[in-house]
Amino acid sequence: IALETEYENISADTTGAIWLANFMEPLISWKDGAQTASYEGLDYVAMHPSGTWGVSWFSGAECKKIAFSNGVITTEPMVFNEVDLISHLLVDENHIYVCGSAVDSGNHQVFVYDTAGTLQLTLTDSDGSGLGSVTFVTETENGYLALDGNMREVVLWTKDGTYIGKAEDSDLFDTSYPWFCGGAKLADGSILAIMTEDRADESAM
């Protein structure tokens, strides 16, 4: 698919559509190889798997919950009061994950909200302090898993947000200081970790 501009955000929904968003660019959706919709006036967008709503965000705590019905978009304010600056935002079936700096401490944490925007729990390091820069987080069968791009670690918590531990990229993937770009959870519960690193001969990433 040839696009007229570059897009940084991509979401897929259960209808088979993909959603592409970027700051200062229209939110567009594609299905079966054809563009199906275009919406102006939004920033980065994380879509719910249903494809019926999502969250438009940039860097501040004041975001927008957007909804679609018969080709018409509606917006309402959604404010994440516990967050100062947002670095990443993701939406899954039951949660909105806001990765960013905490208002009270400035530490990078993962704030787990329900789909209405009510804080459920906060994911931190072992001592309750900050993480590096989380680029992907998901709920697993028995807890939560995050990819910390800055620390090059996979981090695990229980269902109630209790810290379990972390694993280095080199131990899991035999990699050498990659950047975790993001991830995806498949229908069977498998998790894909997306990362980049220099080739050994430094010819490319």
> H/E element holding 204?
none
Give the integer Cα–Cα distance in Å for 190 and 186: 5
Amino acid at 105: S
Over residues 156-195, the pLDDT tens digits come to 999 999 999 999 999 999 998 999 999 999 989 999 999 9
Over residues 97-139, the pLDDT tens digits come to 999 999 999 999 999 999 999 999 999 999 988 999 999 999 9
Residue 190: which residues within 8 A CB-CB, separation 6 or more?
Answer: none
Q: Using 50, 70 and 90 to split pLDDT, how confident is the model at 71? A: confident
Amino acid at 156: L
What's the pTM?
0.94
Smallest Cα–Cα separation from 161: which of 142, 143, 148, 141? 143
Count of all residues that appear for the chain in the document:
205
Give the integer Cα–Cα distance in Å for 195 and 205: 10
